[in-house]
Chain A
């Protein structure tokens, strides 16, 4: 269990690096980090489900300029772990555990946003120090400063995940033990969240561009045709 959590937090740290600090291969996208987290906690279906919902919600978030984004990869990894842990207790319905995982992911991602701002401020200090040394004619080591910054970015994601999992592990037995009380149907909320997420994509691809309407209608027609053919 402890090993599984450490691997999860390590993966969250690596995916957090991918957001801005390195590579930007999109490992940080919720669908990818959710799937990875799902495999680590032994429940890929939960990972994909939570990942898809968060991917929909954050499709319109763009890492432009100084705007700090929610910490998607760490939030997703924690949310998937929480949902899978609740399922394991056997005391709650699947829709409740998915909703709880989603909520946890959103909360952790929002909390992570402030830590991104701190990280950037620390980077600023590192950079000021480097420039001060440079202007006073002393030797500077760009590679070392870069390595420090990279380490900081990784540990921000790793430690945030460790902290979130540590705090939330107290909640798992409490919610899991609630049994039938929390076993009601939460599908309506999940439907609304999915609708909201698709709405984000509508705002990205359809809003203000009438010319794209035929393409949208074509997609609808093709999907309906395939559905009818498939019976």
Chain B
């Protein structure tokens, strides 16, 4: 009973630390320091100082990068393998191999779902909600994103710890690719609602021409070449400068 409680406390500690995986993100070692920080609570238990601690830190300060949410699977799995390593049941090389074997597939799945799907979707739903609820839109954004975010953070550490090296086969059973497709559908649906709402808003507040102007600009912008789409801040700034030119016109005239 006491052992179970201690284990639960350690896992909670790992989950809490996993939120700081990217704190020291840098161009050379990527998430390495963050990973070492997350694992250092495990290190205190399994590495008894001196050479063992140094080897432990060397294993976890090497280049590492994956999706920060799904990294929780690797964190849980690595913690389990480190415990086995301290009992002499597995080698250090196996731990490093698990980390590098899972980092790329988890990054591919996680980035598509969390960054390219869920993040824009939660923003879109937040914007729609802001039309009705005002400041409540921010709460909708936070709720939609964090239901999935927190679920996978917690589940990842727990499943990873339960499965250890068996985690590799678990990854292929993740439901996230299917969820990504659903997120795309919901996003397209919500986009349709937003388009009508925005046009109606402008029409009511300003001019009927908004019916044509807004969708035309949106479609043109939506199909801009890649190099311009990645510079949307600069394009918006140029539009803003146009507004300033109008001011200059007002000052001169």
- Cβ of A70 within 8 Å of any chain B Cβ, yes or no, is yes
- Other than A25-B145, A61-B232, A191-B210, give 15 A-B pairs with Cβ distance below 8 A: A26-B122, A26-B142, A31-B130, A45-B134, A99-B243, A103-B243, A109-B233, A120-B26, A121-B26, A142-B37, A142-B40, A189-B242, A196-B236, A199-B222, A219-B195
Contact of B192 among A150, A178, A217 (CB under 8 A): A217
B126 at the interface (CB under 8 A from A): yes
CA distance A25 to B223 in the complex (A): 30
Does B46 count as interface, using CB distance less than 8 angstroms?
no
**Chain A residue at minimum C-beta to C-beta distance from B58:** A134
Choose among A20, A25, A48, A120 the residue that contacts B137 (Cβ–Cβ < 8 A): A48
B224→A181 contact, CB < 8 A: no
**Given A55-B127, A146-B23, A196-B217, also A204-B243 (CB < 8 A):** no
Question: Interface on B for A, CB 8 Å cutoff?
Answer: 19-20, 22-29, 32-34, 36-37, 40, 54, 57-58, 61, 65, 68-69, 111, 115-116, 119-120, 122-124, 126-127, 130, 134-135, 137-138, 141-142, 145-146, 149, 184-198, 200, 202, 205-206, 210, 213-224, 229, 232-237, 239-244, 246-247, 250-251
CB-contacts of A116-137 with B (<8 A): 120-121, 123-124, 126-128, 130-131, 134-135, 137
Given A22-B23, A199-B217 in contact, is the A191-B202 Cβ separation under 8 Å?
yes
A32 contacts B246, CB within 8 Å? no
Number of A-B contacts (CB under 8 A): 314
A148 to chain B, nearest CB (A): 8
When distances are taken between beta carbons in the complex, the residues of chain A under 8 Å from B243 are 99, 103, 186, 189
Is chain B's interface secondary structure helix, strand, loop, or mixed overall? helix
- Chain A positions within 8 Å of B, measured between CB atoms, are 20-27, 29, 31-32, 34-36, 38-39, 44-45, 47-48, 51-52, 55-66, 70, 96, 99, 102-103, 106-107, 109-110, 120-121, 123-124, 126-128, 130-131, 134-135, 137, 140, 142-143, 145-146, 149-150, 153, 178, 181-182, 184, 186-187, 189, 191-207, 209, 212-213, 215-224, 227
> Across the interface, do A218 and B192 meet the contact criterion of CB distance under 8 Å?
yes
- In angstroms, Cα B29 to Cα A120, docked, is 10
**Across chains A and B, which 6 residue pairs bring their CB atoms closest together, nearest first?**
A219-B192, A199-B221, A202-B222, A195-B217, A223-B196, A212-B188
Q: Which A residues are in CB contact (< 8 Å) with B24?
A: 123, 126-127, 145-146, 149
Q: How far is the CB of B105 from chain A (nearest CB, A)?
A: 16
Measured between alpha carbons, how far is A12 from B246 in the docked complex, in Å? 31
- Contact in complex: B40, A32 (CB < 8 Å): no
Are B189 and A201 in contact, with the CB atoms below 8 A?
Answer: no
Interchain CA distance A149-B229 in the complex, whole Å = 32
B218 touches A145 (CB 8 A): no
Assembly CA distance A26 to B148 (angstroms):
12
| Contact of A120 with B25 in the complex, beta carbons under 8 Å | yes
Q: Do residues B26 and A127 form an inter-chain contact, with CB atoms below 8 A? A: yes
Interchain CB contact under 8 A, B193 and A64 = no
Given A103-B240, A130-B33, A194-B198, CB of A29 within 8 Å of CB of B141: yes
Q: List A contacts of B20 (CB < 8 A).
A: 21-22, 146, 150
B-chain residues with CB within 8 Å of residue A143 when the two chains form the complex: 37, 40
Cβ-defined partner of A57 (8 Å) among B218, B232, B241: B232
Chain B residue nearest to A63 in the complex (CB): B115
B165 to chain A, nearest CB (A): 25
User: What are 15 pairs between A and B in contact, CB < 8 Å?
Assistant: A31-B137, A52-B137, A96-B247, A103-B240, A123-B33, A126-B24, A127-B32, A128-B28, A187-B202, A195-B216, A198-B221, A205-B184, A212-B185, A219-B193, A219-B196
